[in-house]
Structure 1
Amino acid sequence: MPAHRHVDPNPPAVTDLEAEAARWEDDGGPATPQLAAARWDRERGSSEQIDAEWLRISAELTARFPMIGDREDCIVTVETPTRSGAPAAFYPTLAKVEVDREVFAGHAPATIRPARYGDEDRYPAAWGAFCHEGAHAAHTKWGVATTPDQRMTAAYAAADMLEECRAEHRHLGRRPGDLKYIRSCATDLVLEGMGSNIPDNAWSAGYAAGLILSRRDAGILEDHEVADLEAEVTKILGEDTVAELTEIWTAVRDTADDDHEAMLEHGRAWCQAVGHDPSQPDPKESEDESEDGQQPSIPGGAAPGTASGAPSGAPNGGAIKAAIGKTAAKVAATESARQRAEQAAQFAANRAAAEKIRAKKAKASRARRAEDTAKAVFAPNAGTFTPGGMSGGVAPTPVIGTRTPTTAEKAAAGKLARGLRKAAYRERVETRTSSAAPPGRLNMRAAMNRDAQRAAGATPTALPWTSTSRRATPTPPLRVGIAVDVSGSMSPLAGPIASAAWILTKAAAATDPDSRTATVAYDQSLTAITRPGRAPERATIFDATGGGHALGDAIDALDAALGLSRPGAGRLLVIASDGYYQSHERAAAAWRIKALTDAGCAVLQIAFRGGYGPFPIPGATFLVLDSPATAPDTIAKAATEAIAATR
């Protein structure tokens, strides 16, 4: 039994106070003292300022209503009290929606900004009431075609009750994003519609099922939220009656918006299912108790307190009301959990965005530091550079002289240059095209299909001629960075390391005029052996007696100088080292190597038997040699596979 009808083709009559206020304001006077005093007490502030804010809110809601209610002719007013007495109502004959100010409780009028999209998330229940009335404005069209006598019957009351879920279901079909708002207000509307004194009889049980369980079947509420109410309704009505009611509200969802005969027929079927005469008036709350406090018999129903299986001993009921309260609590808990999950997801997204910004800034900072290191290492006449400075003076250079490369080393460099050119080579690109006319190769099946299409009078779509074009892909130049370990563990291998460094540098420089290469010797300091754009004529002799391994800084310098992490060239980093490092040195090199390989740069570690190793560096292709001068094929093959794997 609705306490207040909030879709009424016949709006309430204007009260004497409202008429007096309208006449007074039409004459240019202020609001009547009674209304002004009531507003002052209610709002605890300047009535003119507060009324102005509510007028603004009404105008902003009116501006947004066409999207919600799918019509342009409706006016929205926010007032207290509403003429209907309900939290919100829609008057189809007036094209007017009214919303009670109380649904915005907890929010000062000056802070409510419906014109600002997203502001509705601060008051979801109020916006849900707004959306609910928008659903009625868009889809409740059958009521105006009924007669006043029909509206006084229980059949109309049942149809009006079933319309609640039907309108929301149709609305969510247009605007599925409004579900959270509809859910937020659904329970409040149900409690308002059922009233505060709900007897445990067949009519009340059916009414609760039609308002709440039907919303479960429509996907608005969830199974666990209505389980308690479903149990109580089934206890009162029985499983067969509940199944019959379910069929009715399922059929109602498929009823046309303006089919009043079908809706009234559903209402009559509903009344008959719960044992009430559909032509009788809607049972009123005022009839639930007689003057001596006893519950009267329900017209067309069972005896007091035992209607359709309701438990005796509870004349005023309470089970249905308690079950509705549990439903409300569960809906609130679900929405609270969902809100916490959304907030957690938003927090995670914000944190990921902040982390992305921090990573971007850190990457830019590392790039600037790498550029500074490259300038310090490869500057003309630059000496040995120690990242972070060195206490006690300048680090000595590991270069102790140069020598003429041997014939074997020259031959190895030539072989390796050919291997590197092969690694960077790109096959020609073939493109096949089809056409309706020559040139090209005739495909007989396609030609026959084209003739058949013409014969059938259809537009020919078959393309019988195919041609192949081949376009050479320019072989990109090479960028080869070489990092040579000159720490103390490499002392027994100083000769092979110097030979390998010269062979690699000379071979890379000989592959293409646009190729660039650079070599850095590193221990705890960095020393440029060859600079970008300069091919070495003599082999460098190293004194491998240094301490520490600044391989990470060496990689940064070579990357900044040669662009190893930038696409557009065949890129290769060669590390000549035994890999005998401390854990922090290995980690500093490993993440830089991973960044290079992720960017498409091949990384090759060359080690020699003997000394303290060899130990592989994580992320690099590991190659162990006996002698660099006698293994150019092995180096070329490893470089070719490494470059090809990163294309």
Structure 2
Amino acid sequence: MPHPRTHLQPDTTTSGVADPAWQDWSTAWTRHVPVLTGRTDLTVTVAPGAGGGAPACFYPDTGRIEVDASHIGAPDVANPRRAGHKKLVPTAYGLLVHEAAHAAHSQWRTPPGTPPVVASVAEVLEESRIEYRQRSRRRADRRWLRHTVTTLLDPGDAPVDDLWHAGHLAGLLLARVDARIITAKDIRGVRAAVTAILGRKRLLQLRDVWRQAHTVDDTDAEAMIDLAWRWCRVLGINPDQQPDTPVPDPGVFAGRLAQALTDYLAHAAGLTPSEYQARQITARFSVPATWTRRDPTDGERAAARHLAARLRRARTHHPEPDTRPSVIPPGRLRTRHAITAKAQIAAGTIPTATPWQRRAALPPPKPTLHLGVVVDVSFSMHPYAAPMSSAAWILAHAARSSDAIAATIAFGSDVTLLIGPRQRPTHVQEMRTFGGSSTFIDAVKLADELLQLRQPGRLRMLAVVSDGDLYDIPAAQRLVSALHRAGCAVLWLRPADLDGHTFTDTTTLLVADPVQAIGHIADAAVTALEQA
């Protein structure tokens, strides 16, 4: 069950370790925090790793605010004694304001004996309540609080599409709209996903709860706990019984809540969902330092040019009759456009109307091929490491030259994003085979994130090079079948000399020579374009 970092429990932790490099920030913000809170008994610690595992935290028993310095960067990025420094570190300063809001307004404690479920709900309600109170007292602080919302969220806040998590997301985001911290436009997608799961009536009931919470006095613990009990009743949860934490099915792609939350985080970062995911993925799935790089050979360069030419030809395979407008004859006269052209000439302007329509043989519009290549680098796949390293480089270069989008992902004991979409690598990454193949599911989900393999209206294909001897075959099959139902073709290349599992809803080919795998993937890509 997800919950925010608690700000309402007694301080059972030791003081964060101070970092001398950040002492100026700690001193400056300690002097500044009375302006934000009206309290003179608070201290602020800024240091790497401060915050007790959260971006920032307030410990009420000791009157201490901690802010993780990672949200600032380097100590010399700004002078914390100058008023203008907050513009250079808006997220970190927003975290300070958020914790200051807790210090000023979280003056109640959870009563002993309160069920953990109820306490968790009260903490969610408290997040938007204290920001609402801070904004009401210091209107300019809204600007900084907006910067913190994304840091106080986690993509894991919405692991499954159920009532509890839909309510949790509503309490974290939709409640902040009524607190006037973020706008309805900011979370339009989240509201749609939450409404689809909760229903409009139940969501309105929850909204009434958090709006009442915004009016609760800073010391009224009884009112906050009563509202938390009411929240549980609206969701049909027994507050006296800890709800089971649902374990997401590994064989199921991300649900509506998770996707909506990702879209919101992307919007807040000023990125498209694809750009945001690519940034997150690059940080999570970097190429291991143990893999070596080399320059591509002349043969690989030639193969990339040859494949690019084949893909370009496939995109314009058969010219088809069509019509196009024209300013001059021959063709069929379009009366309305002819009248418009005459009017433009009479007015002394350059005519833009096109009175004629002529026949022409045009190449049919071809969709862009989205090709994901997932390569097994477990120990048993050693003979395929070298040719598939070469294939990854060839496919990436051919795709960039032919309006295709390709990504290559290696999976074994870990997942590695070898080449991302629209990348043109300068070197060939030599894959290293070792360990097992436990991360196939993560690799397929990563390919889906990068290429939107389940999105209709586009030409999609997933090519898998593996013996099929995977850790969780039933879950892997559910993912493959989900792609198949969504219209994404799945090509599975299995080594002929290795025992393994054959998956349904795939086109499975037994490959005797590892080098053949490159040709099979290229042939399938060309065929998909020609038949589109």
- TM-score where L is the length of structure 2: 0.48
- The answer to which structure has the higher helix fraction is 1
**Structure number with larger C-alpha Rg:** 1
TM score, norm. by length of structure 1: 0.40
